[in-house]
Structure 1
């Protein structure tokens, strides 16, 4: 074998092995007050909702939010190519736990969302990016609901 060919074959073998590895799962980046955290999916399903990864209890991001700063959320194309939304829990001034949701974003409509706190001094505690699957179920009001095909979770520290 030619001397210069051996290193080239070794590099080709490494590149081939890397190409055969499974692709990484899409991450959501949460950003506030100069800090960010990238979060793996807590669960991810194929578009039909048939094959899902086991729930990953460890895939929970933690981010400190200071004062009234907004929370910026960035999603990659793997997430924004399907309908998605942001669900969140926050605590009002009186200690009451409240929830809210962003609008549902249509496929490829946007890759980011900024969550602003209500003006009454509430504190965000939990945020979840939810990607919808193609699975439809009967809704409680007689309509239809889309199944959640992926979720990315953030717990906020004050």
Structure 2
């Protein structure tokens, strides 16, 4: 009985995630720009970037791979202001922050309709300089062992280059 309840709950989670992802995809597919963009601002400069990868949430083999990557020049004084459009924020999304030691990346996940912007310090006291930012839209999938896991079906990427000309990461 417990297996049936667990399987039913897992199926409901997968269907809810797929529905949310489909909504985000449907909201953006008829846009003139075709795919949503994120923006980041620091130290008087702004970058807007389209996705690095963007897959159909219902068929993860149907992907566009423009491999677009934004770039920001950072300094230790100014934080990075990241903004995502409602087409991304209306779905569960993940923020990945990469630092000088890539093993110290941090991951934050936001529920639908809870965040359109995030302030990111350019230097973390424990992790060092920020070297990259990624935004991901998530889909729940089952693997061969029937385990449910999150997989990004879309990702936006921004490389952080330090003002002294040294690129971290």
What TM-score do you get using the length of structure 1 for normalisation? 0.71
Cα deviation digits, residues 113-158 of structure 1 (max 9, x gap): 122232247111121111112x3234x9x96321202100111110
Q: 1:103 pairs with 108, 124, 148, which one?
A: 108
Shift of 1:42: 0.7
Q: 2:35 pairs with 20, 25, 28, which one?
A: 25
The CA RMSD measured in Å over matched residues stands at 2.7
Aligned residues: 132
SS in 2 for 1:73: strand
Runs of 4 or more consecutive aligned structure 1 residues displaced over 4 Å after TM superposition: 20-23
Gaps of 5+ in 2: 1-29, 163-169
SS in 2 for 1:125: strand
Q: 1:54 pairs with 61, 64, 74, which one?
A: 64
SS in 2 for 1:79: helix
> Larger Rg: 1 or 2?
1
Question: Which is richer in helix?
Answer: 2
What TM-score do you get using the length of structure 2 for normalisation? 0.67
Which range is displaced more, 121-130 or 74-83? 121-130
- Aligned residue number for residue 5 of structure 1: none
